Amino acid sequence: MVKILQTYKYTFSLLFSILVAIVLFRTGTLDYLTHALRGYAYLSATVAGFLFAISVTAPTAGLYFVALGQGLNSYAVVLFGATGAMAADIIMYRFIKDGLLEEFKLIIEAVLAPHHRERMEAITEHRVFVWIVPFVASALIASPLPDEIGLALFSLINFHPKYLSIIAFVLNAAGIATLVFIGHSLAT
């Protein structure tokens, strides 16, 4: 059991973090944290941005941005929120690229026949794949779908973190701005 935990430590960490997030959500702890941070509005916007990038906590963070848009400077909320979301995306990218991807490769080696693995490797090394992946991954980050899928695609092609941070900031800012301005329009 210990050997399995050591071999797949990133996979188990990911599953454990999802479990913790679900427990926090179901017990109302996230709602409590949201209300506790309300006095520190722009700091809480950064924390909400961080949570906005994580698929399990994104709905709660999204509703919090709508609430923040009703009483604060919308542009500042977007700036702080997008910064938090960008930080979360870069951390997740590093987590996926530096450990989780290698563990998935081990799992694929154990599950797939060699000829299927060779075919998958040929597809990922193809020039069209390398050019299309950044657009698909960016669309996934911009969409309501989990950012983690887009970040995994970016890690497949060894995308440079500097460029990823710019893309993540802009796309998350667009999503957060939409929510904040919805909140602003509800307040008026």
Q: What is the pTM of this model?
A: 0.74
Domain limits for position 122? 2-187
CB 72 within 8 A of CB 41: yes
Q: What is the separation of C-alpha 182 from the centre of its chain, rounded to a whole number of angstroms?
A: 22
- Taking residues 62-74, what's their average pLDDT? 83
Please tell me the predicted confidence (pLDDT) of residue 91.
Answer: 93
Task: Name the more confident of 113 and 175.
Answer: 175
Whole-number Å distance between alpha carbons of 92 and 88:
6
**Residue-wise DSSP of 5-54:** HHHTHHHHHHHHHHHHHHHHHHHTHHHHHHHHGGGSHHHHHHHHHHHHTS
Alpha-helical runs (H) found in 38-126: 41-52, 58-69, 74-95, 101-111, 114-125
Task: Name the more confident of 11 and 64.
Answer: 64
Domain count, the chain: 1
Whole-number Å distance between alpha carbons of 35 and 142:
27
Please tell me the predicted confidence (pLDDT) of residue 34.
Answer: 59
Please tell me the predicted confidence (pLDDT) of residue 87.
Answer: 96
For residue range 152-162, what is the model confidence (pLDDT) as tens digits?
888 888 889 99
Does 121 score more than 90 pLDDT? Answer: no
Q: How confident is the model at residue 21 (pLDDT cuts 50, 70, 90)?
A: low
Q: Provide the mean pLDDT of the chain.
A: 82
Q: What is the percentage of the chain residues whose pLDDT exceeds 90?
A: 24
Task: Name the more confident of 57 and 179.
Answer: 179
Query: Helices 9-27 and 29-36 sit at what angle, rounded to 10 degrees?
Result: 70
Q: How confident is the model at residue 120 (pLDDT cuts 50, 70, 90)?
A: confident
